[in-house]
Each structure stands twice: as structure tokens, then as C-alpha cells.
């Protein structure tokens, strides 16, 4: 599904990713762990196609297609979804309005017919209930005045709604208390599917108690320095990043 | 706004055209000789079959105008206008005395169709009566009967001058005096047509009244004149939409709108203005110098202006309220969008004369490209206006780094009991907002339209439903290409 080879990425001329390689198959959940400043968020933005992240070397293949030349909105329509660490506020645009615009923009891009307002409303309501996203939240302006937990739940709701093939979750656990974390994790687990790959980016092992990954990669100084099964997370927790990075060197 | 109302919002992505109203209808025109003189004024007056008092009124205005100077205080720049190098009257030939729509030139109707004006049966469903002004002559007026039943007069002002001279004489020029300003005085001399509305005592006008203005002939100024009088205890909502075809030369538009609200009357006046703004390089476009003023003459009267200004190369416009009656209320809701080389200098004046008068100003200015957008507003509280209240909110949104937003509030208070609040913000569309939309599959143009529509929501909510949808689309179209 996703095949990243020797990826070098610079931001404002400064190299952040320095030869990262990573493969994720459909149906799998991979975790990317790493200390602050290791390039975790850069990786998520590069996959989503954010402007200002320049690929200086290497390749990203997505379902056999070169992802690099595609603008972000086309990537989204092709099933790349990024649940953001800091979901942005858009004043005056109701959440429901935003969801409808996004859903139909993706459908148009894929050559599918648009869903009418009632169709969108029904679909959203059904998925919202499972994530404890209230009707009232859907009427509020997008993320405006939402709590940290509400924002993250809304990100997962969008993931459920758009049914992506590759879902990247960037620090989805940040700013959540344990109850909110559990709710979000349940939502994510409910979306695990044979045709879907997930990349869970996190600083702490805590999230991986709830979302158990098939494989863990440790990112440090712009490269994958260690890989392993879910037990690697526990080792990290015990030894700390510094030791693992040193061991790998 | 209800969620059902929101759901009727349409996405703008399908609207590929830049200025979709830029077509020209090929109809034989009858014109006054080029230039401006007493003869031009006499020609227009004669064409309209006006009584002598009207001609004298016009000539008085013309003589006054000769001694006036074009104002230069607004933050707009344009080459000097040659008032002798324009036509002041243009009418489709052979138009008078149409009894029904079937008699109207099909080409005209085709034009209206392109504009999306529902002139036929759909209008009954929409509940809108349209007095369509095509250049200078009103060619089709609908729904007269239904309005007649309610006693509402809704007709071209030229007709009102003939049929209701007493009403016209009583109110014309009482809100915007003939001597008011350079452009209003010019209009008083050469106005060719416009709309007259009179709502009698205690009548709630049974439908939204709507007029579409369109400048068709080249080198023609449009000088329409609108007068709306709401008698005691009445209510009327009036919608005005404007478009103009694409032309390389600049065209002058100097309208005057006068509103009079008597005791306990309410007038709601909404405008969607998308005159041709000129091209990406600032060539062509309408010069829009408009004087709009409402007089809350009676106690507890209310006048509410809502405007969506997306067009014109230059906009010079300050719809105002004179709050004369005690406890009268004035409102001004505005969205002004300037893109490319457009210049907008717009705002309002709230003149508090009566006791316990209240005013509310919500202005949303959006600048993109190399455009300059100025909010200019006056809140003035006179000595006898005990307990006057004003709330002003001015928000500016910048798209890109080459445009400008300016806020020029003037506040005068001669009564210590006045309470005046002014809030202002300036913001930019943030890169992270755009990226968030893109990541969810929403393309650049649609994302900008979505964010801007959100920014303008408080004002869009004030528009009647059928206009709100058009206004939202316009917001998208007028900002196309603004994010590179």
C-alpha cells in the first residue's frame, strides 16, 4: 500500500528527514514513535502533501502510484487521510457544512455523484453517534470552542466518514485524558479493516495500549533507527529513547 | 440560521466562469446625444413625458452641479472622468406600453434568463415581484395586481412621476437633497429611471420586492433613482441586484436611493452588487458612486441596509440612516470584497437625532490581489439624542500579501448619555486553515470560498434566502485566483 524509499525532506532549506524508508501493507497498523524533533510530524505532512515540505531525494509510492506530484486534495480523494495533532478552527462554517463540502469534493474528484444534504445528514448522524459526537457539536462552527477531546473525536469521525485507505494519525493522544483517549482508540480500532492501512504517530507508549500495532518503527534524527513488534514499545518505555537511539547507532 | 437553510448553500466549485454576466445583448438602442448639457436634461425629461415641475427640478440640479467639485476624500484613485464623453440616456427602441411579458423583446427576456432572474411563473412560487430596469427603461413589471390589492405601489419612478405626482413631490429629494453631493446632484439632473415604492399605513407588503439593474449599452452611465416610502406601521423588504457586461472602458454608475420610514414602519433594503469589476490587470469596470440614505422619520421606525458588494472597479457608497424619530433603529450589514485592482471605500453613517435611538453596524471587508478595501463609517450623536446606542463591528480579512484593508471610523458625540462601542479586527486566511481543507479533499478555490463565507456569516444571514444563495456563489467567483 505505502512504500517510502530513502526519503529526504527539507523545510526552509533545513533537512528534517534524512533517508527514511518505510513499508506498510493494507490491513496493517504501524506505529511511528520517536522523541520530539525527530521528524514525526514532518513525515505526516509530507504524506498529506503540505506546501513547504520539499522532497529533495527518494520516493513515495501509494498503491503503486507516485504520490509526490499529487496535490493534497487529490491525495485525499484517493484515500489518504491525516488526523491532525492540532485540528484548525474555521469560524462561521458549521461542522456539518464542512463535512458535506469535504465529502462531496472527494466524491466529485473520484467521478462519483454528490450526496444530497439529507443523505449526508443521515450518514454523518449514524457515524457520529458511535463516537459520542453530539448533534449540537455538528451545528457548531468547525472546531471553534471545542475541547481537546471533542476535536480529536471529530477527526476520527471524519476518518469514519471518508473511509480512507491510508489513515495517518498524528499524535492523536496528545492533550487527551484517559477516558477521551479510550473513546478515540475504540473509534480507531473500529475502523481497522483488511483494505485499510494505518500509521499511528505517537510520542508515548500509552496510546499503543489501546491501539495495538502490528509493527513499531522508531524515528530519530530523520531516520528509522529501530523496528520491531509491539513489544518494542515496552522496551522504549523502560529504556527511554536515548538508549534505543544509542543502541541503534 | 437553521440547519435546513444552511444545507441549501451550494458549493461554488461548479462555477468555472470568472465573470459569468459578461455578455452583451444586441438590441437597437435609442440614445441621447453624447455629453451633458441643459439640452441633455431636457431630452431625458421629454423622453419620459415628464411634467414641468420635474424638468425644473432636474434643471435646478444641473445648474447646481455645474458649480460643484468631484469629491476627493475617499481612498480611491482613478483617472479623471470626462463627463462630456458619455451617453446619459439609452433605451431599447420601441419599448413603451407593454401589457404583458409576451410582448417584451425575446432577446431581453433571454438576457434576464442568463442573469437567472425568474421572470415567469416561477416568480409566483418565489414570491418575488421584479421591476426589471434594462439600462434606463423599465420593460417588465410583474405582480402588480397582487400588490394593488394590498394597496402597495411598486412601479418605475418615471411612471410614478406621471401617476402619483403628489407622493413623489412630497418625498423626492427630502432624504438626499438635490444639493447633497456631486454624484447625487448629477443623478438628480439626469436620472433616467428607477423604482418607486409606497406602502400604505398598516400594510405588510405581501412579497419581497426586487429590482434587477443591468448596464448594457457601452459608454452609458446608469443613473437610477429609487424612492421607497413606508407609511405608518407598514413593512417592506426590497432586494436590488446589479450586473453589467464586460467592457474595456470604464462606465459610470451614480445612483440615488432614498428611504422614508414613518411612525412604526420598517424597511429592509438588500443589495447584491456585482457590476463588472474590471479584468485581472485593472482594465475596465464600473465606477460605482452611489448615495443611499434612509430617514427614520417616525417614532420606533426601523431601516436596515444589507449589502454584498463584490463588483465594480471602484465602489464609493455609504448607505446611511438618519435616526430622527425617537426610539428608531438603524442597521447596516455589509460584505465588501475587493480582488485584483478593485478599490472599495464603503461604510455607513448613523446619525442619531432622536431619543433612545439605536444603531448597529456589522462590516466584513475582504481584500485579495492588489485591491484596497476601506471601511469608512460615521456614528454621530446629536445633543438631543438622549440614551443613543451604537454597536460597530468591523472585521477585515486579507488574502495574500499585496492587498490592503483600512478602517476609518468617525465618532462624534454631543450627548454624554450616549454609549458607542467599536470593535475591529484584521486577520489573514491562515495557511493551516487552507491546508486543513485541502487535506479533507476541498480544493483551493472552494476552500477560500468556504472560509470567506464563514467569515461573512453574520451578514449573509441577514439576506433573504434567494439572495443568500446567490451571494454565497458570488463570494466564491469574485475571489477566484486570489490564492496562488
d(CA B460, CA B359): 19
Query: Which chain B residue is nearest to residue A44, measuring alpha carbons?
Result: B439
Of A94, A105, A139, the CB nearest to B441: A105
Per the CB < 8 Å rule, is A101 touching B11? yes
Cell of B373: 478595501
Which residues does chain B have within 8 Å of residue A76's beta carbon, measured at their own beta carbons? 438-441
Nearest to A171 by CA among A45, A5, A20, A22: A45
Residue ranges of chain A whose CB lies within 8 Å of a chain B CB: 48-51, 71-73, 76-77, 81-82, 84, 86-94, 96-98, 100-106, 108-109, 117, 121, 139, 141, 158, 162
CATH 3.40.50.300 fits A2-248, yes or no: yes
Q: Between the CA of residue B139 and those of A156, B27, B211, what are the distances in Å? A: 57, 13, 12
d(CA B410, CA A205): 59
Cell of B89: 440616456
Which residues does chain B have within 8 Å of residue A111's beta carbon, measured at their own beta carbons? none
More confident residue, A90 or B19: A90
Residue A95 has pLDDT above 80, yes or no: yes
pLDDT at A123: 94
Q: How many CB pairs under 8 A join A and B?
A: 95
Per the CB < 8 Å rule, is A49 touching B438? yes
Cell of B306: 444589507
Residue A41 has pLDDT above 60, yes or no: yes
d(CA A20, CA A103): 32
Of A87, A90, A105, the CB nearest to B13: A105
Of B438, B450, B457, the CB nearest to A101: B450
Is the torsion defined by CA of A113, A116, A118, A122 positive or negative? positive
> Which distant-in-sequence residues (6+ apart) come within 8 Å of B122 by Cβ?
none
pLDDT at B379: 97
Per the CB < 8 Å rule, is B441 touching A84? no
Collapsing DSSP states into helix, strand and coil, what is residue B251?
A: strand
Residue B484 distance to chain A (closest CA, Å): 12
What would the mean pLDDT of A57-76 be, rounded to a whole number? Answer: 96
Mean pLDDT is lowest, of A44-58, A86-100, B123-137, B142-156, for: B123-137
Residue A160 distance to chain B (closest CA, Å): 13
- Strands B389-398, B419-428: parallel, antiparallel or unpaired by DSSP? parallel
Tell me if B389 sits within 8 A of B358, measured CB to CB. Answer: yes
Mutation choice for B interface testing from A81, A98, A105 by most B CBs within 10 A: A105
Beta strands in B142-255 (DSSP E): 153-156, 193-199, 208-214, 224-230, 235-243, 250-253
Query: Which chain B residue is nearest to residue A92, measuring alpha carbons?
Result: B454
pLDDT at B98: 44
Which residues does chain B have within 8 Å of residue A108's beta carbon, measured at their own beta carbons? 13
Query: Which chain A residue is nearest to residue B12, measuring alpha carbons?
Result: A101
pLDDT at B79: 84
Q: What is the CA radius of gyration of chain A?
A: 18
Tell me if B260 sits within 8 A of B266, measured CB to CB. Answer: no
d(CA B404, CA B373): 6
Q: Please write the tens of the pLDDT for every residue from B353-392.
A: 999 999 999 999 999 888 999 999 999 999 999 999 999 9
pLDDT at B127: 42
Cell of A134: 453530539
d(CA A193, CA B14): 34
**pLDDT values of chain B reduced to their tens digit, one per residue, 484 residues:** 333 322 222 322 223 335 556 555 555 666 777 788 999 899 989 988 999 999 999 999 999 999 999 988 888 888 888 888 877 777 655 444 444 555 556 665 665 555 555 444 333 334 445 555 554 444 445 566 678 889 999 888 888 999 999 999 999 999 999 999 999 999 999 998 888 999 999 999 988 887 655 555 555 567 889 999 999 999 999 988 766 555 566 778 899 999 999 999 999 999 888 877 888 777 888 888 999 999 999 999 999 999 998 888 888 999 999 999 999 999 999 999 988 888 989 999 999 999 999 999 999 999 988 899 999 999 999 999 999 999 999 999 998 888 999 999 999 999 999 999 999 998 888 889 999 999 999 999 899 999 999 999 989 888 877 677 778 877 877 787 776 5
Nearest to B221 by CA among B287, B173, B280: B287
d(CA B322, CA B293): 8
Nearest to A201 by CA among A183, A219, A214, A189: A219
pTM, 2 dp: 0.81
Q: What angle do CA A135, A137, A141 make, to 5 degrees?
A: 130
Q: How many Cα neighbours within 13 Å face the side chain of B401?
A: 2
Q: Between the CA of residue A236 and those of A23, A244, B98, B236, B327, what are the distances in Å? A: 21, 7, 87, 72, 72
- Strands A141-142, A90-94: parallel, antiparallel or unpaired by DSSP? antiparallel
pLDDT at B144: 67
Collapsing DSSP states into helix, strand and coil, what is residue B19?
A: coil
Q: What are phi and psi of B114, to 5 degrees?
A: -60, -35
Tell me if B456 sits within 8 A of B396, measured CB to CB. Answer: no
Which residue do the cell numbers 484548525 mark? A88
d(CA A235, CA A247): 12
Strand order in the sheet with B419-428: B137-141, B128-134, B208-214, B235-243, B266-274, B302-309, B329-338, B358-367, B389-398, B419-428
Query: What are the residue ranges spanned by the domains of chain A?
Result: 2-248
- Strands B302-309, B343-352: parallel, antiparallel or unpaired by DSSP? unpaired
Q: Please write the tens of the pLDDT for every residue from A183-208.
A: 889 989 999 999 999 999 998 888 89
Of A77, A82, A93, the CB nearest to B454: A93
pLDDT at B303: 98
Q: Please write the tens of the pLDDT for every residue from B158-205.
A: 889 999 999 999 999 999 999 999 999 999 999 988 889 999 999 999
Which residue do the cell numbers 451604537 mark? B390
pLDDT at B358: 98
pLDDT at B87: 76
Amino acid at each position: 500500500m505505502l512504500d517510502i524509499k530513502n526519503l529526504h525532506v527539507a523545510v526552509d532549506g533545513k533537512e528534517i528527514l534524512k533517508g527514511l524508508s518505510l513499508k506498510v501493507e493494507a490491513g496493517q497498523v504501524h506505529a511511528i514513535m520517536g522523541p520530539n524533533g525527530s521528524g514525526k510530524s514532518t513525515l505526516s505532512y509530507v504524506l498529506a502533501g503540505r506546501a513547504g515540505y520539499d522532497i529533495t531525494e527518494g520516493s513515495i509510492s501509494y498503491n503503486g502510484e507516485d504520490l509526490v506530484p499529487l496535490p493534497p486534495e487529490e491525495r485525499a480523494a484517493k484515500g489518504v487521510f491525516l488526523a491532525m495533532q492540532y485540528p484548525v478552527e474555521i469560524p462561521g462554517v458549521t461542522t456539518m457544512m464542512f463535512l458535506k463540502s469535504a465529502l462531496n469534493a472527494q466524491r466529485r474528484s473520484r467521478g462519483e455523484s454528490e450526496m444530497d444534504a439529507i443523505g449526508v445528514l443521515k450518514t454523518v448522524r449514524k457515524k457520529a453517534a458511535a463516537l459520542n459526537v453530539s448533534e449540537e457539536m455538528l451545528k457548531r462552527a468547525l472546531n471553534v470552542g471545542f475541547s481537546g477531546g471533542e476535536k480529536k473525536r471529530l477527526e476520527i469521525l471524519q476518518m469514519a466518514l471518508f473511509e480512507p485507505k491510508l489513515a495517518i494519525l498524528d499524535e492523536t493522544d496528545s492533550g487527551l485524558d484517559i477516558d477521551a483517549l479510550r473513546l478515540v482508540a475504540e473509534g480507531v480500532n473500529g475502523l481497522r479493516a483488511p483494505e485499510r492501512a494505518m500509521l499511528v504517530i505517537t510520542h508515548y507508549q500509552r496510546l499503543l495500549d489501546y491501539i495495538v500495532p502490528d509493527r513499531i518503527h522508531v524515528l530519530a534524527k530523520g531516520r528509522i533507527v529501530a523496528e520491531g513488534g509491539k513489544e518494542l514499545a515496552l522496551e522504549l518505555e523502560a529504556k527511554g529513547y536515548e538508549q534505543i537511539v544509542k543502541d541503534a547507532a | 440560521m437553521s440547519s435546513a437553510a444552511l444545507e441549501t448553500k451550494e458549493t461554488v466549485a461548479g462555477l468555472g466562469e470568472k465573470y459569468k454576466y459578461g455578455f452583451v445583448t444586441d438590441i437597437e438602442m435609442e440614445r441621447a446625444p453624447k455629453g451633458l448639457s441643459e439640452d441633455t436634461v431636457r431630452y431625458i425629461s421629454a423622453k419620459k413625458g415628464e411634467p414641468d415641475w420635474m424638468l425644473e427640478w432636474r434643471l435646478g440640479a444641473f445648474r447646481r452641479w455645474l458649480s460643484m467639485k468631484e469629491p476627493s476624500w475617499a481612498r480611491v484613485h482613478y483617472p479623471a472622468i470626462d463627463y462630456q464623453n458619455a451617453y446619459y440616456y439609452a433605451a431599447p427602441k420601441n419599448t413603451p406600453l407593454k401589457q404583458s411579458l409576451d410582448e417584451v423583446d425575446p432577446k431581453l427576456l433571454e438576457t434576464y434568463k442568463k442573469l437567472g432572474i425568474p421572470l415567469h411563473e416561477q416568480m409566483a412560487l418565489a414570491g418575488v415581484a421584479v421591476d426589471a430596469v434594462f439600462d434606463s427603461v423599465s420593460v417588465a413589471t410583474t405582480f402588480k395586481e397582487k400588490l394593488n390589492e394590498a394597496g402597495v405601489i411598486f412601479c418605475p419612478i418615471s411612471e410614478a412621476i406621471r401617476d402619483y405626482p403628489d407622493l413623489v413631490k412630497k418625498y423626492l429629494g427630502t432624504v438626499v437633497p438635490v444639493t447633497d453631493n456631486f454624484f447625487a446632484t448629477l443623478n438628480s439632473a439626469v436620472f433616467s429611471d428607477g423604482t418607486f415604492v409606497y406602502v400604505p399605513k398598516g400594510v405588510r407588503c405581501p412579497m419581497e420586492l426586487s429590482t434587477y439593474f443591468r448596464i448594457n449599452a457601452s459608454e452609458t452611465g446608469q443613473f437610477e433613482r429609487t424612492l421607497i416610502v413606508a407609511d405608518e406601521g407598514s413593512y417592506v423588504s426590497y432586494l436590488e441586484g446589479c450586473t453589467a457586461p464586460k467592457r474595456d472602458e470604464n462606465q459610470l454608475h451614480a445612483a440615488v436611493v432614498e428611504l422614508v420610514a414613518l411612525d412604526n414602519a420598517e424597511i429592509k433594503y438588500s443589495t447584491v452588487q456585482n457590476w463588472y469589476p474590471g479584468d485581472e490587470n485593472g482594465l475596465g469596470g464600473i465606477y460605482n458612486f452611489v448615495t443611499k440614505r434612509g430617514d427614520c422619520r417616525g417614532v420606533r421606525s426601523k431601516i436596515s441596509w444589507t449589502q454584498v458588494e463584490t463588483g465594480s472597479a471602484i465602489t464609493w457608497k455609504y448607505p446611511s440612516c438618519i435616526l430622527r424619530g425617537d426610539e428608531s433603529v438603524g442597521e447596516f450589514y455589509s460584505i465588501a470584497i475587493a480582488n485584483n485592482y478593485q478599490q472599495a471605500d464603503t461604510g455607513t453613517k448613523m446619525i442619531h437625532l432622536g431619543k433612545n435611538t439605536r444603531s448597529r453596524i456589522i462590516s466584513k471587508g475582504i481584500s485579495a490581489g492588489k485591491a484596497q478595501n476601506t471601511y469608512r463609517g460615521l456614528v454621530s450623536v446629536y445633543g438631543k439624542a438622549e440614551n443613543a446606542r451604537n454597536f460597530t463591528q468591523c472585521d477585515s480579512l486579507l488574502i495574500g500579501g499585496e492587498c490592503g484593508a483600512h478602517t476609518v471610523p468617525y465618532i462624534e458625540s454631543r450627548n454624554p448619555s450616549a454609549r458607542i462601542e467599536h470593535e475591529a479586527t484584521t486577520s489573514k486566511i491562515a495557511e493551516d486553515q487552507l491546508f486543513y481543507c485541502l487535506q479533507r479533499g476541498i480544493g483551493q478555490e472552494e476552500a477560500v470560498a468556504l472560509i470567506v463565507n464563514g467569515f461573512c456569516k453574520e451578514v449573509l444571514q441577514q439576506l433573504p434566502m434567494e439572495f443568500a444563495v446567490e451571494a454565497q456563489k458570488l463570494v466564491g467567483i469574485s475571489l477566484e485566483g486570489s490564492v496562488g
